[in-house]
Structure 1
C-alpha cells in the first residue's frame, strides 16, 4: 500500500482498526504468528497487547488470567498457581511462547514463556 493509501486508510478507519493494524504490523516485524491462524496443539510465538488481567482464585489453586490481542484475534493466557506477575498488566505489550489449547472455542496458552516489551511513554 502506498503512502496515499495508508494516509486514506488512517483517515477513514476508527481507532480500533488502527490499533489492530499497528499490533499486526508489530507482530509481523518480530516474526510472530497471528493468533487467528493458531490451532490446537500448535507451539506458537505471539506478540500483542494485554486487554485484561484477572486473578481467579479457587479452593484448589489460584490462576492469573490475561487476554492477549495481536490485532487478528485474542488468546487467553493462564498462569496456574500464580496470584500476580510483576509487569503483567492491562495495556502491556508482550511476546509469549507456548502450546495452544482450545476450550469452548477459546484459544488458551497455559503457563506461557513471555517477554515484556519496553513501555513507550
Structure 2
C-alpha cells in the first residue's frame, strides 16, 4: 500500500512536471538557465514572471519581479519605475544583464528585456 500511495502522490504533484516543461519551453541559443547562470557575468535568461511588486528602495520607486524558468528563481528590479507596460505576473520574458547578489538574493538590476508572446 505504501508504494501505491507514493506513486499516486508523485503523479498528483505537478510542480516537478511543470518545471521540466518550463525548461523545455525556454531552451534557446545563447540563453542559459537561471540555475546555471553565473553571477557578475553578462547573461541572457528566459522565464515566467511569478510576481510583480512596487517596492521603493532608498526613497526611489522600484518595480520588482520574480523570474522563474524551472531551474531557479531570480529577482529583477527596475529602479525608478512604478509600472512597465506588459510586465505582469504570468508573462514570459527574456532578460539580459549581470546578476548580482543583494542581501543573499540573486538580483538583476535594470535589465534589457523582451516580452515573449
- What's the TM-score, normalizing by structure 2? 0.84
Identify the residue that residue 34 of structure 1 maps to in structure 2: 33
1:2-21 to 2 correspondence within 5 Å?
Answer: 12=11, 14-21=13-20
Q: Which is richer in helix?
A: 1
Matched, 1:54 2:53: yes
- Distance change (3 Å), C-alpha of 1:30 and 1:117: farther
Question: RMSD across aligned C-alpha pairs, in angstroms?
Answer: 1.8
Gaps of 5+ in 1: 1-10
Q: Distance in 1 between matches of 2:66 and 2:99?
A: 14
Runs (4 or more) in structure 1 with deviation over 3 Å come to none
Cα deviation, residue 107, structure 1: 1.0
Gaps of 5+ in 2: 1-9
Task: Give the TM-score of the pair, scaled to structure 1.
Answer: 0.81
